[in-house]
Structure 1
Amino acid sequence: MVMKFNGKPFKAGDFQKALHKATAKLVGDHLRERVSSVRDPETGGFATVIVDGEGLDDMSLRIEGTPAVLDQVRQDLGVETDVEDRELEQASAEVPPKVFLSFGWEDRDLAGRIADALQRHGISTWWSEWEIKAGESLRRKIDQGIGGCTHFIALLTPTSINRPWVQEEMDAGFVQKVGRGATFIGLRHGLEASRLPPLLAGSLSPEIDQDLTQIQQLINDIHGVSRKPELGPAPSLNSLPKTRYTAAAMAIAEHFVNQSRNGEFGDVTSDEERIAERTSLSREDVIDALHELRRWLKIGYGSVLVRETFYAEFDRYWKPWIPADDALRLAADLVNDADFPSAPEQIAQRYGWEPRRLNPAMAYLEERDTVKLSKALATNPYIGFEIRRTDATRRFVRSRA
């Protein structure tokens, strides 16, 4: 039986795909409508909205604008923002790790030397000999110490492991681990790992000797110092620009940028094997890098097709032009010049640009929904046959001026 819609045959899978795409577009338009009206109260600049993904399952929202605009979006709409090529650093005071040290009275001397070593290496340590003064409530002070710790350390020895007081403190430490994410460390001294309580059996429980020869590793672990060696440079990738993308992603991006003739969708088509050969990357690195770059690619059935927005993002690293700057010039001319042409070939002639340069600028503006770019079949070598200004074009120019 052949299913038909409006008199034309169609497959159920195609109908579902089209429905999902249409729904995603409605959601994207709704998000743009909500966010694009946010303005910088001082400069009057608007937020620029980019909706990535073709379906609801991979849709994401990126917002560009001044710090004031981004803060306003977060406050008003609860939307996460992304600032292109800028890192917004938020100064915060360094807070040292806080350790609560639980021990049995028989191990008081060893516990004291452990507490002293931790304290001298930037770890605020709660040890009963320092914290509890004459007349103070033992229970209240211990509860305060455990409640405020980032790391709970239980010094486990053949004697302390059976002490009810240590077990009670360990129970409280586990509550902090589950409820607040505190780190629970069972520090063994003269105790075999096989004698650990069941709750510690699946955790790394380091061992400490009488001379504290392993204390530095414990200090490093508490401070979050990685045990991994420093990452060395990738072979033959040292000359690539240093960006927010991995070296493997940049190697693939350089290959695509240099292979493209016009900066159109699909004018570079490849697969994982050929990409690995051209970039000298391993197959696994290629797979991970393509996943990193996926919002600018169409990947399926073993093939990789490059979207036009890819060049809007990556041309700046290897071409003598910057698509973002070209896009701003194009948008400003569309807004300010009443006689400015709408046909890409006339625009290219006026600027003295090849299609390879004009297409990324138009793609940059279209991705931000700041122009009306009309498309049709056989517009090669351009990605559209007409580009016109909208109100969003004026807002874009004003925000980037």
Structure 2
Amino acid sequence: MSQSNFFKGFMEDTLEQVMSSYADELHGTAASVVDPETGKHALVFVRRIGKDGWVIHTSGSPAFARALEQRLGLNKGEVHGMNEPANRERLVYLAHASEDKALVKPLAEGLMRRGIKVWYDNWEIGYGDSLRRKMEEGLGDCTHFVVLLTETSIRKPWVNEEIDAGLMSAVEGSAKFIGLRHNLPLSSVSPFFKTRLTPEFQPGEEGLDALSGEIYGVSKKPPLGEKPRYVQSHEPGSTWAASARTVAEYFVRNSAHAQPMDPQASYAEIQQETGLPMPDVRIGVLDLIGAGLLEKQEYFGGEGHIWPKSDMFVTFDADFMDWDPEKDARDLAVHLTNLDTDQADANEVGLALGWKPRRFNTAAAYLVSARVVKPIEYMSGDAYWPCGFMMGDELLRFVRSL
């Protein structure tokens, strides 16, 4: 070993011992500080950056970080919290080789245009500034460490030191590590990078959009849609099967006036509208026919049509519409009683209550089905059904019981 190499090695060992001793001293002082918010000792991490730099992180509160800075004689912001708030301002530390400036400067400018602050050495280091000091500040503050991997940069010792610091920040959870390859095959990078996602960076707006999306955490997944009705769970407390409720909802929502035979549909039309598998459509229809809420007409050579009875809307409007047929029926009964007559015209009553036929007809069907009033039916072409009411003592008894 030559004399120069001997002394170089001796100096490096001595420096290492001095730095290690200094780290122990820093940690010992920091560990004696109590978090003013919890009254407990918080964890403190003193991490080496490069040959003679340090960064301090803590799991304690922001108040603890400020107390550490005061105790250690550091400037505000030099002790970093390990759990940054969700709205932490995004700051990219951009590591690169000086030979790649022509590629890196547009990259830095493009991120800035997209609202992302960038630590770029040409912008941060001025005359008389300490290069290492400035880099340590940038590394300590960054939320994202981005390194441009090129044939030139991967051979630069300085860039490799920055990469080590960036990896340390990623391990501590204070920054996300992003490696971008440019004209560099994956086979040329170190084994470490081969185990991480290192996409090929394409200069230009498309590449910048992809990078900024990654930094902002924009999900690449499509929006999560609603699950199909046929996989929805059973309605708690309901005595109806999920398939019957889905078929009922189809008729309730697609009826113009809540009249019998409004609307009419085939099995195929119900399936297309609801997304139910055909066996569930048929079983749901069967359940509702059995309950007296649907009717079906079979045609020779075809499957026929299915339509609702008035009681379909009485039973299910409260589940799928903006009104409650039971409450509306009580209000309608009181109104009919107050007319003090034995007959009433449905159109006049509906207009007086301010209800459109779709809502009025369900309340009317409720009273008719319960035998509270008798319907007057004739071909009028009017949207209100029934056309009128005959009222007797049944109505009086119903209102008295409210």
| TM-score range normalised by the length of the shorter chain | 0.3 to 0.5
Larger RCO (alpha carbons 8 Å, 6+ apart): 1
TM-score between both structures, scaled by the size of structure 1: 0.39
With the length of structure 2 as denominator, give the TM-score of the two structures: 0.39
Largest Rg, 1 or 2: 2
